[in-house]
Amino acid sequence: METILIVDDELINRELLAEIFKDKYKTIMAENGEEALYLLARDKSITAVLLDIIMPVMDGLDVLREMKRSGAVKRIPVFLITAENSGSKLMEGYNLGAVDVVTKPFFSNFLRARVDNVIELYRHRNSLQHIVDEQVEKLKRVNQDTVEMLATIVEFRDCESGEHVKRIKGLTGTLLRKLGELYPEYEMPKSKIETIMNASVLHDVGKIAIPDNILNKPGKLTAEEFEIMKTHAAKGGEILKNIPSVMDEDLLNYSYDIARHHHERWDGNGYPDKLKGDEISIWAQVVSVADAFDALTSQRVYKPAFTTEQAVNMIVGGECGVYNPKLIDAFLKSFELFEKEKK
């Protein structure tokens, strides 16, 4: 049975309201705002709140403020109980999320109808929101499955890419968070960082198009072979640009940008588009540093692993190309976290 929470400091009012709703709802009572919040946190069957405005300990508006902060007013309709004619208090209540006002004395039939109608409206709305949430979650799973499928294809082509892409994902998140802490202009919401981390997994998807004799050559590439290897960035962008529309648009856009531009450099000497400075998106810049660090500290068919100290010196010293100074600062200040991700 659905539950109505009645909050009023006067016992007679609580009992009158409980009597009105007893045939259709379970009723529970609180005599002040603190008790009401305790019951709201404890009882998940509450489908409506009848809330007195003027009460000792904690008044109704304070309860509403807390319900708004927690998001409870989006799920549970709140009816203000008042004998007051104070327009300012009622308006504040409406602004905080109250749906209606119950004035004293109570008219039972009228009050039941109003509360029933609003509860039914919220029931349908909550049900619809649940369906929407399920579809969003399903889409996220489809997106993740698509990303993992493409990353697995790269793994089969390039024996180093399997663990490499997993580490890049963690390193990208670590560096994005540190960069946002140090420089507010780069701060991002958690959800955006997670999307970029997922997109980073596909940074080398263009290697699918690179011939095996070049991709897995045990020795140093010739100048001609290196030019072919460099095409993986543009080819990765082309692959992602033509991917089926099943992938989320934001994830696809980040994946495309990272795949195409993770070899661009701050001074314009990268590839394939010779972008310079802030022409390169910050997420592509971050994946570039993460990719360089992991590649340097990992054994590859064409080289042994460098030590961590050697890798840091090479990145900071410009041997891997020139990077955004703020990004290098964040890299150095998140170095211990990078080491944990690498392990």
**Residues known to be catalytic:** 207
CB 82 within 8 A of CB 101: yes
Nearest Cα to 163, choosing from 174, 151, 172, 150? 151
Helix axes 190-200, 161-182, angle to 10 degrees: 150
Q: Which residues contact 202 (CB under 8 A, 6 or more apart)?
A: 147, 150, 151, 154, 165, 236, 240, 255, 258, 259
CA distance 201 to 197: 7
Q: Is the peptide bond before 77 cis (omega within 30 degrees of 0)?
A: no
Three-state secondary structure call for residue 185: helix
Q: Distance of CA 177 to CAs 28, 51, 165, Å?
A: 45, 42, 19
The neighbour count for residue 286, using CB atoms within 10 Å, is: 31
The distance of Cα 170 from the centroid of its chain, to the nearest Å, equals 15
User: Could you tell me the two tokens for 166?
Assistant: 């997993």
The distance of Cα 275 from the centroid of its chain, to the nearest Å, equals 29
The sign one gets for the Cα dihedral 112, 113, 116, 119 is negative
